[in-house]
Amino acid sequence: MHLKIVPRPVSHGTRRGRFVLDGRTALTADPALTGVAAWLRAELGQVTGGELLPGTPGPGTITLGLGDDLGPEAYRLSVGDDGVAIDAGGPAGAFYGAQTFRQLLPAAAYRRSPATEPLVAPGVHIEDEPRFGWRGCLLDVARHFMTKHDLLRFIDLMALHKLNVLHLHLTDDQGWRVEIRRYPRLTEVGAWRRESQTGWNGAMDGRPHGGYYTQDDLREIVAYAAARHVTVVPEIDLPGHTQAAIAAYPELGNLGTPLEVRTTWGIGRNVLNAEDATVAFFKNVLDEVLELFPSPYVCVGGDECRKEQWRESPSAQRRIRELGLRDEEELQSWFIHQFDDFLAARGRRLVGWDEILEGGLAPGAVVASWRGDLGAVAAARRGHDVINCSNTQVYFDYRQGPGEDEPVPFGTVLALEDVYAFEPVPAQLRDDPAAERVLGAQCGVWTELIDSNRRVDYMVFPRLAAFAETVWGPPGRDLEDFRARLAGHLPRLAAIGVEYRPESGPLPWQTRPGVPGRPEDPKEWQATIDAWTSNLRDLA
Round to whole Å and give the CA distance between 269 and 448.
17
User: Is the Cα torsion angle 359, 363, 365, 367 positive or negative in sign?
Assistant: positive
Told to judge if 167 belongs to the known catalytic residues of this protein, a careful annotator would answer no
Closest to 166 in 3D by CA, of 444, 454, 493, 498: 444
Classify burial at 499, counting beta carbons within 10 Å of its beta carbon; exposed 0-12, middle 13-18, buried 19 or more: middle
173 close to 143: Cβ distance less than 8 angstroms: no
Round to whole Å and give the CA distance between 462 and 340.
36
Q: How many CA atoms lie within 13 A of 277 on its CB side?
A: 8
Candidates 127, 275, 304, 432; catalytic one: 304
Q: What is the DSSP letter of 53?
A: -
Round to whole Å and give the CA distance between 230 and 73.
12
Told to judge if 304 belongs to the known catalytic residues of this protein, a careful annotator would answer yes
Candidates 172, 179, 340, 520; catalytic one: 172
459 close to 445: Cβ distance less than 8 angstroms: yes
Q: Name, in order, each residue with C-beta under 8 angstroms of 44's C-beta and a sequence gap of 6 or more.
A: 21, 25, 27, 52, 102, 109
Candidates 169, 209, 241, 384; catalytic one: 241
Q: Name, in order, each residue with C-beta under 8 angstroms of 538's C-beta and a sequence gap of 6 or more.
A: none
Told to judge if 172 belongs to the known catalytic residues of this protein, a careful annotator would answer yes
Cis peptide preceding 462, ω within 30 of 0 = yes
Count of CB atoms situated within 10 Å of the CB of 374: 23
237 close to 231: Cβ distance less than 8 angstroms: no
Round to whole Å and give the CA distance between 301 and 394.
18
Q: Dump strand ranges (E) for 403-520.
A: 438-445
Note the Cα 65 to chain centre separation in Å: 30
Buried/exposed code over 225-247 (b: 16+ C-beta within 10 A; e: otherwise): bebbbbbbbbbbbbbbbbbbbbb
| Bridge partners for 442 per DSSP | 136
Closest to 501 in 3D by CA, of 459, 532, 470, 473: 459
Q: Any idea which residues carry the catalytic annotation?
A: 172, 241, 304
